[in-house]
Amino acid sequence: MLFLLSFLSRIREWDQWLFQKINSGLSNPLFDSLMPFMRNSVNWAPLYLFLLVFVIMNFRTKGIWWAVLFLSTVALTDMTGTYAFKHVFQRLRPCNDPLFSEQVRLVIDKCAGGYSFISNHAANHFAMALFFITTLRHRLGKWTWLALIWAPLIAFAQVYIGVHYPFDAFAGAMVGSIYGLSLGLYFNKRFGFTTFDIQPAE
């Protein structure tokens, strides 16, 4: 028991150390402008809408099932992050922790409410990215892999702006990846895209 407590304490120390390296050590005017934009889901709403319309228009009935499972992936990931992790572990956000908040450089106007572990932003966006890649990589080719740049940037932004620890983002990414990959594979097995109006990328 003592070993476990010591190990968890060491993990927390590493997490706080890495948080400071990212939140303060990498601070610069470009990131201060870019990262709040990256982590704001409202800014990505047009992209989400475009994907849903694009897939439904090109794949018809299968596209509708794709949209249903895509949205289900996000909903399941979000509920898991909230009820299986945040409400269970109740870890304070770095910007809300009275023992640590003075060491936080908060890049946005105010600290978010709720708990820190896991990062639902990271979980949701990794879920979307893995679902997108798993179901569309054979149709859209290398372009689908841009999702693996987009999702980590959003997870990184959560740490940079001061609302999550790195381990929150990492754990969220793992949870989201599991959901995205699992439901993506289920879609491929149950439905799968066999016809498409655009030729697959080489």
Q: Pick the residue with more confidence: 103 or 192? A: 103
Residues 6 or more apart whose Cβ sits within 8 Å of residue 200:
138, 139, 140, 141
The answer to whether 112 and 40 have CB atoms below 8 angstroms apart is no
- On average, the pLDDT of the chain sits at 90
The answer to whether residue 14 sits within a structural domain is: no
The answer to whether residue 15 sits within a structural domain is: no
The answer to whether residue 53 sits within a structural domain is: yes
Give the whole-angstrom CA distance, residue 26 versus residue 127.
27
The percentage of residues in the chain with a pLDDT greater than 90, rounded to a whole number, is 77
Residues 4-16: tens digit of each pLDDT: 667 778 888 999 9
Based on C-alpha coordinates, what's the Rg of the chain?
Answer: 19
Least confident of 54-58, 83-87, 160-164, 171-175: 54-58
The answer to whether residue 196 sits within a structural domain is: no
Q: Quick one: pLDDT at residue 194? A: 55
Q: Please give the structure tokens belonging to residue 176.
A: 């989201």
Domain boundaries, position 176: 38-103+112-190
- Mean pLDDT, residues 110-119 taken together: 92
The answer to whether residue 60 sits within a structural domain is: yes
The answer to whether residue 195 sits within a structural domain is: no
Give the whole-angstrom CA distance, residue 116 versus residue 121.
11
Domain count, the chain: 1
The answer to whether residue 161 sits within a structural domain is: yes
The pTM (predicted TM-score) of the whole model is 0.89
Amino acid, single-letter form, for residue 154 = I
